[in-house]
Amino acid sequence: APTAASYVSAMSALAKAGRAADATALFDDMLAHGVAPDRRAYSLLLHVYSTHLGLPAAGLSVLHWMSGLGVRPSAVDYADLIFSFCRAGQLPDALQLLDEMRELGYPLPPHVYSPILQAHCDAADIPAAEALIAFMRASGGRSGCNPDVVIYNIYIHGLCRVGDFHAVQRVINDSVWNWWVPDAVTYSTYVAGLCRAGYIEDAFRQLDIMVAKGLQLTVVGLNILLDYAAKDVDMWVAKEVMERCEELGFEVDVVTYNTVMEHFSKKMQWLIALRLFTDLLKKPITPDVQTYNILISSLCRAGKFELAKFVFSCNGFVADTVTCNILIHQFYGAGKEGELGFLFSDVDAGKITPDTITYNTLVDCLFRSGRRTEAANLVRHIDGGYPAEPVAHLAFWLVRSGNVREALSLFDDMLVKGVALDAMVFANVIKAFCRKGPGECTDMTQLCSVLDRMLGIG
């Protein structure tokens, strides 16, 4: 016969497999079969409710149930609930549980305080965060809750979010007196915060300090630094920093390369983007679909369409909808739509699924290339006919090009078939009439007449 331990093992497996509701149902099954839950079973149920299902109130009910049965909850049970209440934005409940732990004499290590500190920082309540850290320092010797590097990293992140970098520097400078050592996460958080605030030179100074201390930027911190350096300083600086960081043994990933490639692509430096791509292939880093899309877009904008087609056909590359949209936009824009057979064969084979942007792009490109009838026929046959956004695009081009009667015919067809005109369609028709700018309509009488017809009152 199953024992409490058997049920706990099965519940744990279900929860880890993402089947939290089945885990709670199994607990009910245990009760129904007369198997008495032990402390582990109650704790697991509390954990499933608070952490997996995000139901801290249900978890708290389990805590009270345990206490009522004489089963003493553990410090981990309380920590689970505190984290869950903080994540749910119910900070007062978390603080009440913290007070309860203190009254019952539970140890209060830093990780119990960290979700509360995170909640204060998320709310930009820096005074409350400072007060919490001061309390931890004051009571650290008695309860073992002296703030550690994780606590200070959360605090520094909060200070960076409000732009108080003087306070960040003060916290780091005082670290030796407060018995903690700034680590790679500390400086990476600081560097990222400086970048987001536009202090790129200060971010580079902190990078130099890190290197002198033998610390490495986290890959996320490095990617943020490179992105802002390329935008606010120069893309060549970003490339040099990436190469220097690689020489120093910093971890780089595919996002690092994508970040730098994207900036060179935007500046029409397709050859540098291609070189970065080939460098990436020489490393134990696997390019993702975004890498290929950046390169394909860069090549197309440089007029290297044959090379773009070659990259598209590379072994291991699985194109997505974004790839499809890039190719359609670029090939149509260059008058090379007749060469897109390689792409449409993949679409027809179901390898790529077009989305609304794909159809919008096709409508725009067809109209710009003078193929108005094809654009209208496309809209009439997409996904059963007349999807809102492509209709709005077609309506804009018809009105803008002076084919108002054709637009009205389109609207009449839709109304006859019971397809409602979306607000986006109305907005685009008005936009098309207002050629000189918002509120400056070229023919207000005609616009009112068209709107009346669209509303079915004209």
Listing DSSP states for 423-442 in one string gives HHHHHHHHHHH-TTSTT--S
Q: Is the pLDDT of residue 347 over 90?
A: no
Per-residue pLDDT, averaged over 382-395, amounts to 79
Confidence of residue 458 (pLDDT cuts 50, 70, 90): low
Domain count across the chain: 3
Task: Find, among 68, 64, 147, 76, the residue nearest to 107 by Cα.
Answer: 76
Same domain for 18 and 87, yes or no, is yes
Confidence of residue 251 (pLDDT cuts 50, 70, 90): confident
Confidence of residue 447 (pLDDT cuts 50, 70, 90): confident
Q: Which domain holds residue 298?
A: 260-354
CA–CA distance from 211 to each of 169, 187, 214, 223, 225 (Å)? 17, 10, 5, 16, 15
Within-domain flag for 293: yes
Within-domain flag for 322: yes
Same domain for 1 and 102, yes or no, is yes
Instruction: Give the sign of the dihedral formed by CA 260, CA 261, CA 265, CA 267.
Output: positive
pLDDT computed for residue 142 by the predictor: 53
Per-residue pLDDT, averaged over 237-245, amounts to 80
Within-domain flag for 80: yes
Same domain for 386 and 434, yes or no, is yes
For the chain, what is the mean pLDDT? 86
Residue 65 has a CB neighbour count (10 Å cut-off) of: 15
Q: Looking at residue 385, what DSSP letter applies?
A: S
Domain boundary among 324, 354, 384: 354
Q: Is the pLDDT of residue 436 over 70?
A: no
Q: Which amino acid makes up residue 262? A: E
Same domain for 390 and 343, yes or no, is no
Q: Is the pLDDT of residue 437 over 60?
A: no
Domain boundary among 106, 129, 154: 106
Give the span between the Cα atoms of 373 and 370, in whole angstroms: 9
CA–CA distance from 63 to each of 74, 101, 229 (Å)? 10, 12, 50
Within-domain flag for 417: yes
In three-state secondary structure terms, 172 is helix
Within-domain flag for 79: yes
User: Using an 8 Å Cβ cutoff, are 289 and 318 in contact?
Assistant: yes
Q: Each residue of 127-171: pLDDT tens digit?
A: 999 999 998 888 765 555 788 999 999 999 999 999 999 999 999
Same domain for 6 and 67, yes or no, is yes
Per-residue pLDDT, averaged over 347-360, amounts to 80
Within-domain flag for 345: yes
Confidence of residue 105 (pLDDT cuts 50, 70, 90): confident
Q: Out of 76-85, 138-147, 163-172, 388-397, pick the least confident.
A: 138-147
User: Using an 8 Å Cβ cutoff, are 394 and 374 in contact?
Assistant: no
Give the span between the Cα atoms of 366 and 359, in whole angstroms: 10
Give the span between the Cα atoms of 169 and 157, in whole angstroms: 12
At 456, give phi and psi (nearest 5°). 75, 20
Same domain for 67 and 97, yes or no, is yes
CA–CA distance from 150 to each of 137, 145, 184, 217 (Å)? 14, 12, 11, 16
In three-state secondary structure terms, 169 is helix
Domain boundary among 354, 383, 418: 354
Same domain for 299 and 381, yes or no, is no
Per-residue pLDDT, averaged over 36-57, amounts to 93
378-409 burial by CB neighbour count: b if 16+ within 10 A, else e? bbbebeeebbebbbbbbbbbbbbeebbebbbe
Report the CATH number at residue 18.
1.25.40
Per-residue pLDDT, averaged over 231-253, amounts to 79
Within-domain flag for 247: no
Per-residue pLDDT, averaged over 119-123, amounts to 94
Within-domain flag for 126: no
Tell me the whole-structure pTM to 2 decimals: 0.72
